Amino acid sequence: MGRILDAISSPADIKVLTDGELAILAQEIREQIIATASHTGGHVASSLGAVDIILAVHSLIDSPKDRFVFDVGHQAYAHKLITGRRDAFDTLRQFGGISGFPRPDESPYDVHHSGHASDSLSIALGLAKARDLRGSDEKVVALIGDASLAGGMAFEALNTIGQLQLPVVIILNDNEMSISRNVGALVRHLGAIRSSASYRQARDQSQERLEESAFGRAVVNFGRSAKDSIKQFFVPDTMMFEQLGILCTPPIDGHNIPAMRAILKTALDSDGPVLMHVVTKKGKGYAPAVADPERFHGVGTFDIATGSSTKKLSGPQSYTEVFGKALVREARADEHIVAITAAMQSGTGLKAFAKEFPDRFIDVGIAEENAVGMAAGLALSGLKPVVAIYSTFLQRAIDQMIIDCALPKSNVVFAIDRAGIVGEDGPTHHGVYDITYCRMVPGMRVLAPSNEAELACALHTALRLEGPVAVRYPRGTGVGEQVPDRPTMLVEGESSVVREGSDAAVLAFGDRVAPALQAAEELAEEGVSVRVVDMRWVKPLDEQAIVEAAETKLVVTVENGIISGGAGEGVLQVLAKRGLSAPVRVLGIDDLNVPHGKPDKLLADLGIDAKGIAAAIRAGLQ
C-alpha cells in the first residue's frame, strides 16, 4: 500500500483528507524527515514538533494566495514536503538542493526568507496591512515559537498588531525550547498558563468576556463539547496578550489536528487579531530527539535506530570548544569575568562556564540587543563581560555595539562564533558581515586568530585591553595547533610572517592563513616565491607589514567575509594613505548572497580556498 504522502503535490491535496488520514500523513512526514535528515543533517526536533500544526493550517488556508509566515523557518520541513518539494527533499541543505529554510525563490509557497528569529509577526503585520490597503481578502497566519516570541522585535510587532486590530492569526508554538531550554519571565508566564491548578476559577472569570465575541463563543463552545478537554480551556485574566488587544485561546494540544482545526477555522474568520496558544513536544515522533531536543535542534548525520552521530569525532578540537575552555581558565583567574549568550549556551561553548560559574553566566534568550546592552551595563560597573554570539545574530545588535559599548569605550569582549561561511544553513546564517560591521565602529579592535593557540591568546589579550574588542573565529575544527596552558598577550596591531617569499605577498586573515600557506607551497613547486602573513588583527591593521608586502610584485588579501568594507579594503586604504601603488588582488565574498552547501564547496566557488588563492596569484603575476 502506497503512502498518502506520495499523492500530495500541493496543499490542496490535503483538504480532502479525513482526520484519520491527516494523522497517518503526519506520521509519514515524520518518518520522511527522520530518514532524510539522517544522511543530510538538519533541524530535526523543531520540524518534527511542528508537523501537525503545519497540516492543520494548510488544510484550511488557500496557499499561496493566503500567506503562511514562518518564524526562523527551521521547523518548515513538513511545509516543504507538501508544497511540491517531496521528490527533491533528499537534497535538503545540499549544494544545489533545497534549502533548510523557506526561500521565496525556491517556491511560491514560501513567503519570505526566514532564518532569524522574532521577525515573523512584523512580516505578517505588513502583509495584513497591505491586504487591507489593497482591499483584498487573503488570510495571514504566522507561526512563532515561544523562544522567538521573547525577542524584542516580536514584542514590538505585538504592540502594533494590538493597536491596529488587523485580522491576523498568530500560532504560538509553545515547546519550552529554542536551541537550549528557554529562559526568562515569559517562559514562566506560559508555564503557569499550561499548568495552573486554578483553571476553574480562571475559566469562570474569563468565560463571560470570551462570550462577548463570536470567536470567544466558539472557543467556549468547543471547550464544552470536546471530550476531556474542558480543563484545558481557560484564559487567565492576567493574560498579557489579551491586555494588548489580541484575543488569545487557552492552551491547545499541538498534536491534535482536529482540535487545532476547529479553533483555527473560527480564528481565520475573526475580524481582529487572534493568538492560538499551541503546546507541542519538540522532537515528537522520534524518541532520541525527544530525549535530547537540544542536540537534535541542529544535528549532523545520525543513525536512525540509535540517534547516535555517524560523523567521525576524531581530530582537532572545534574553535567553539577551544573558546569555551579558554574562557573558563580566564574566569578562574579573574572573578570579574561574566559570560553572556543569547539562547546559545551549548552552541557558543559556554556549558562548562555556566556549570562552574552559574552566578556569572547569563542567558538572555533570543535577545541579542539586550545581551549587548546588558554587557555595557556590566562593564560600567567594573566587570568584564564576554558576549558570545554567532556572527549572523550579533549583527542584530549593531546599534548597541556602537552607542552602548564603543561610545563610552566600555570593556566588552565580543566572542564572534561561526564567523565566515558556515555551510548548509545558507545565506541567513553565514557569518560574513562581522568584519565590516566591526571595522566601522569607532574604537573597536578586531582580532582574527588563525588557529586554536591564537584563539586562546586572542581571548587572553582582549580581556586585558581597554575598550570594546571583538574576536572572530570560524565554525568547525581547528588546524591541530596545541593550545598553550598559559596564553600570551598579542601585541596590538602586530602581524606574524609565517612564510617568507619575494614574488608575492598574501595578507591572510583568520582561517584563510592555512589555505594561503597551502597555495604558497603549491606555487613554490612552480618556482614562485610567496610570502604569507598571518595578519591577526583586522583592526588595527599592521601597516608596516602592508608596506613591506607592497615591495613584492603582487599583494593579495584574503578574508572569509564580504569584500565591501572588509579587511582587504582596509589594506587598500593604508596603501593609498602611504602613496603606494602596488598591484593588489582582494579576495573575499563579492556582492552576493552565498547559497547553502558544504563549506569546502562554497569556499572553492568563492575562490578563497588554496586553489583559488594560488590561481589569483598566478593571474596577478602574469
Active-site annotation, residues: 282, 368, 396
SS3 string, 369-429, reads HHHHHHHHHHHHCCCEEEEEEEHHHHHHHHHHHHHHHHCCCCCCEEEEECCECCCCCCCCC
Cell numbers linked to 390: 554567532
Residue type, 324: G
> Residue 209: which of 167, 247, 172 has the closest Cα?
247
**Dist CA 536 CA 494 (whole Å):** 7
User: DSSP strand E in 12-83: where?
Assistant: 67-70
> Residue 444: which of 302, 360, 570, 261 has the closest Cα?
570
Dihedral angle over CA of 564, 416, 294, 70, nearest 10: -30
User: For 226-286, where are the alpha helices, taking DSSP H only?
Assistant: 240-243, 257-268
**Cis preceding-peptide flag for 64 (omega within 30 of 0):** yes
> Residue 546: which of 494, 622, 614, 503 has the closest Cα?
494
- Burial level of 553, CB count in 10 A (0-12/13-18/19+)? middle
DSSP 8-state symbol, 559 = E
Cell numbers linked to 439: 571595522
Burial 475-505 (b: 16+ CB within 10 A, else e): bbbbeebebeeebeebeebebbebbebebbb
Half-sphere exposure of 442 (CA within 13 A, CB side): 5
| β-strand partners of 276 | 171
| Residue 360, C-beta contacts closer than 8 angstroms, at least 6 positions apart | 331, 335, 337, 338, 339, 353
- Determine the distance from the C-alpha atom of residue 373 to the mean position of all C-alpha atoms in its chain, rounded to a whole number: 20
- Residue position matching grid coordinates 533548510: 100
**Cis preceding-peptide flag for 540 (omega within 30 of 0):** yes
